[in-house]
Amino acid sequence: MKQIFAVFFITFACYALANAFFSPYCQENATCVRGCSWGLERGFNGVANRVLPGHDHRNLTVASPVLCGRECLIDDRCFSFHYSEGERRCELNGATASRYPMELIEMEGIFYYGPEEPKLVQLLASGNKTGIPSLTDCWYHTHASAASECRRTGQHLCLQWELDHASKEGYPTTPPSWYADPDSLAVLNETGVTYHDLPLTAPSPGLCCSLPMTYRDPVITPKSYELADRAGQARGCSDLAAHPCTLAELKEAYDHGYRSLYWGYLATPNRHAIVGCHHGDDCYQGTIANTPRPNERAQVYCCPNRT
Ligand SMILES: *[C@@H]1O[C@H](CO)[C@@H](O)[C@H](O)[C@H]1NC(C)=O
Ligand SMILES: *[C@@H]1O[C@H](CO)[C@@H](O)[C@H](O)[C@H]1NC(C)=O
Ligand SMILES: *[C@@H]1O[C@H](CO)[C@@H](O)[C@H](O)[C@H]1NC(C)=O
Ligand SMILES: *[C@@H]1O[C@H](CO)[C@@H](O)[C@H](O)[C@H]1NC(C)=O
């Protein structure tokens, strides 16, 4: 059953906090868009009985969550905050729940307030966060620095199918964000994912994904098959709960670090492929060498079926 969480809003007019912007507290090559640099208004959305432990850097005692939000906006290192009504404790956090979706936990009597939009706050507060990407708090000028921020938490920039999955799970609209492909930016919304050319100057956040439980490297059939025996090849993969890999899937495997120099068949007929590229080969997206006139018999690259 889907539970709906009430979301509480606090909005600030930025002219009142004119000196609050532009003091980024981020890594090299990154820009912070916290505080007022987003626009003329700045809001926090809160949810009751949730905390993001382990990222607090300052505690204050203030009379209301609004005052706590003001403290957050004028603190360079604050990305989100907790407020507990009883103790009037205002806890400033150096990270957001959208960056650490798995870490937002239940705690009676404390509110989590963050820059996430209401739908995202609700999604994060719901119990099931399987496969939810993490959106970086800082915005990066290069693919490499976004990728390095993902690696810092043991993640990778999300692959296309991971983004498709997140969108199906109801992940709300994101800004144009870095993902696995260095040549474009992804925008997620609940109806799908769109890809955009890189802007020349604007920095972007990164979408980090964790290695999904369901991911497995391709497997090569133990037997080899005649080139024309497509049914046999498919059956060979099927025995392994898999199907002949497409070029896109082999690239995905490559992006996961899989390499193989065996010339095997794949989903594309009358070609064979290796996972890697040599100089002079016909390469799919610079990663998968695949050429016509394949060997007359070969084993098959099989990619696991996903449920
Ligand atoms: C803030 O207060 C909470 C609750 O007492 C405590 O767990 C946390 O360590 C404190 N944080 C800092 C930075 O003092
Ligand atoms: C969580 O969501 C995933 C993806 O939709 C689903 O496969 C899984 O069964 C869900 N788990 C629970 C406990 O609801
Ligand atoms: C920042 O950018 C410069 C120039 O593009 C690069 O040499 C440097 O390694 C980058 N630093 C980080 C931490 O990504
Ligand atoms: C989601 O993205 C699609 C494709 O760009 C667009 O047509 C649609 O209007 C967007 N939906 C929302 C709710 O923003």
The closest alpha carbon to 277, from 260, 264, 265, belongs to 260
3-state helix, strand, coil in the chain (%, to 5): 20, 35, 45
| For the CA of 173, the nearest ligand | 4
What confidence tier does 19 reach under pLDDT thresholds 50, 70, 90? very low
pLDDT at 3: 57
Identity of residue 169: E
Identity of residue 177: S
Pair type for strands 56-61 and 30-32: unpaired
Token pair 């009430």 in the structure block, residue: 6
pLDDT at 219: 85
What confidence tier does 84 reach under pLDDT thresholds 50, 70, 90? very high
The closest residue, in CA terms, to atom 6 on ligand 3 is: 29
pLDDT in tens, 40-79: 567 789 999 999 999 998 999 999 999 999 898 888 788 8
The reported pTM is: 0.68
Query: Domains of the chain (ranges plus CATH)?
Result: 7-125 (3.50.4.10), 134-209 (3.10.100.10), 219-304 (3.10.100.10)
| Residue with more model confidence, 217 or 12 | 217
Q: Which atom of ligand 3 is the closest one to the Cα of 27?
A: 13
pLDDT in tens, 225-236: 999 999 999 988
What confidence tier does 23 reach under pLDDT thresholds 50, 70, 90? very low
* Ligand 4 neighbourhood includes 194 CB (under 6 angstroms): yes
Rounded average pLDDT over 198-215: 78
- Given CA atoms 3, 113, 121, 100 in this order, what sign does their dihedral have? negative
The closest alpha carbon to 73, from 136, 8, 137, 12, belongs to 12
| Residue with more model confidence, 172 or 306 | 172
Q: Phi/psi at 236 (nearest 5 deg)?
A: -55, -40
C-alpha distances in angstroms, 230 versus 70, 88, 91, 140? 65, 69, 62, 46
Contact 265, 218 (CB under 8 A): no
Q: How far is the centre of ligand 2, averaged over its atoms, from the C-alpha of 128 (Å)? A: 6
The closest residue, in CA terms, to atom 14 on ligand 4 is: 189
pLDDT in tens, 248-299: 999 999 998 899 999 999 999 999 999 999 877 789 999 999 999 999 999 9
- Is the pLDDT at 116 greater than 50, yes or no? yes
Identity of residue 68: C
Q: How far is the centre of ligand 1, averaged over its atoms, from the C-alpha of 24 (Å)? A: 24
Tokens of 68: 């706590």
The closest residue, in CA terms, to atom 9 on ligand 4 is: 191
What are 275's strand-pairing partners? 260, 288
Contact 290, 263 (CB under 8 A): no
Q: Please list every protein residue whose CB sits less than 6 Å from any atom of ligand 2.
A: 128, 130, 169
pLDDT at 22: 39
- Is the pLDDT at 193 greater than 90, yes or no? yes
| For the CA of 213, the nearest ligand | 2
Specify the DSSP class assigned to residue 94. S
* Ligand 3 neighbourhood includes 268 CB (under 6 angstroms): no
Q: How far is the centre of ligand 4, averaged over its atoms, from the C-alpha of 189 (Å)? A: 6
| For the CA of 28, the nearest ligand | 3
What confidence tier does 151 reach under pLDDT thresholds 50, 70, 90? confident
